[in-house]
């Protein structure tokens, strides 16, 4: 993979913190921990900016374009909800995670303005099955797998003779075709249908390299309203960790990254998959308010946390 040049900037750091940051960067470059050629630059030319909490008023101006801004904050510092943070004092592993996220973005197909458009269009179509009923329409998808895929949204099913493992290897930069077909063209007699949730989840995971789906507010409060049906979905151990995190309200994508210590790709993939399946609830309320509302309205139901513990084989005690 071609190495790219990326810039790191500091804004408002003390002299000691600045020296510590520069030393960690030099060590990471020397031992090959980073793929890009990183250098210290002015904030206006940086891909990553580390901002002292005392300069938090500069956050809105710095936090734009493809730049990643992390606030270096101690336990007593006040940081806006949803802002990405680095715990003070700076730790080498936290800095590496930040820089690697930026490297992943730099190599992401999102850099191509046309990349991912067919995939986003398919995600939009699959999302509609959770928003309102469809009437008699069906879709044929060719070019993603060797065999064609037939999608029957009204039935909440799809047909494909191939395993979804083929789909999981699809390069999101590639094009494919989506065509409407009459419901009578579905291969109902010859193929066994599969739950559409399997396809919604898989397409959601694929879009993780493109970031959050366009209609998801990355800074909104996110929470699962239903536990993912992992027994039928393609999943990894990290997805169970994310399900545990999102069983409570989380203040956006960056907050989920901090909580789970997973990379942005993993978090966005999970969030996109959960959203397409209808498992995700978004809110503009802060997490504390969302938790309070959930306690008020959900007293007669088993909590999502209990469902999660049962799914993981952990006994619960009612009390």
* Tokens (6 digits) for 231: 């027994």
Query: What phi, psi does 142 have (nearest 5°)?
Result: -125, 145
| Domain extents in the chain | 5-107, 117-206, 211-311
> Which range is least confidently modeled, 132-136, 258-262, 307-311?
132-136
Mean per-residue pLDDT for 19-46? 89
pLDDT digits (tens, 9 = 90+) for 195-244: 999 999 999 999 998 889 988 888 889 999 988 888 888 878 889 999 99
pLDDT tens-digit readout, 78-102:
887 667 889 999 999 899 988 988 8
Q: Which CATH number fits domain 5-107: 3.40.50.300, 3.30.70.890, 1.10.760.10, 3.40.50.2300?
A: 3.40.50.2300
Asked whether residue 268 carries a pLDDT value surpassing 50, the answer given is: yes
For residue 69, the 8-state DSSP code is E
Instruction: Give me the mean pLDDT over the 161-176 stretch.
Output: 85
Predicted confidence at residue 51, as pLDDT, reads 95
State the pTM of this model: 0.58
Other C-beta atoms lying within 10 Å of the C-beta of residue 252:
23
**Cβ partners under 8 Å of residue 92, min gap 6:** 24, 27, 28
DSSP E strands in the chain: the ranges are 5-11, 37-40, 48-52, 68-73, 85-87, 137-142, 149-152, 157-159, 177-182, 194-195, 221-224, 280-283
């Amino acid at each position: 993979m071609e190495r790219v040049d990326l810039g790191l900037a500091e804004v408002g750091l003390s002299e000691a913190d600045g020296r510590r940051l520069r030393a960690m960067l030099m060590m990471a470059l020397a031992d090959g921990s980073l793929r890009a050629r990183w250098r210290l630059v002015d904030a206006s030319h940086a891909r990553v900016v580390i901002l002292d909490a005392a300069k938090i008023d500069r956050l809105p101006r710095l936090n734009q374009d493809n730049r990643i801004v992390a606030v270096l904050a101690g336990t007593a510092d006040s940081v806006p909800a949803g802002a990405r943070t680095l715990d003070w004092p700076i730790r080498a592993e936290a800095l590496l995670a930040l820089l690697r996220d930026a490297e992943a973005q730099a190599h992401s197909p999102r850099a191509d303005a046309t990349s991912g458009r067919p995939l986003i269009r398919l995600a939009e179509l699959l999302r509609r099955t959770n928003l309102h009923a469809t009437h008699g329409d069906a879709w044929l998808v060719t070019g993603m797998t060797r065999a064609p895929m037939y999608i029957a949204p009204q039935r909440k099913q799809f047909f494909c003779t191939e395993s979804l493992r083929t789909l999981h290897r699809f390069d999101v930069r590639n094009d494919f075709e989506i065509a409407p077909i009459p419901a009578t063209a579905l291969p109902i007699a010859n193929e066994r249908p599969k739950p559409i949730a399997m396809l919604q989840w898989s397409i959601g995971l694929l879009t993780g390299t493109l970031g959050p789906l366009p209609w998801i507010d990355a800074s909104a409060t996110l929470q699962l309203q239903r536990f993912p049906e992992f027994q039928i979905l393609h999943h990894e151990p990290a997805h169970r960790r994310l399900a545990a995190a999102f069983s409570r309200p989380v203040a956006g994508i960056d907050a989920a990254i901090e909580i789970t210590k997973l990379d942005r790709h993993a978090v966005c993939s999970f969030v996109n998959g959960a959203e397409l399946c209808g498992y995700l609830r978004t809110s503009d309320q802060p997490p504390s308010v969302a938790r309070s509302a959930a306690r008020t309205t959900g007293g007669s139901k088993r909590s999502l946390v209990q469902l999660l513990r049962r799914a993981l084989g952990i006994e619960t005690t009612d009390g």
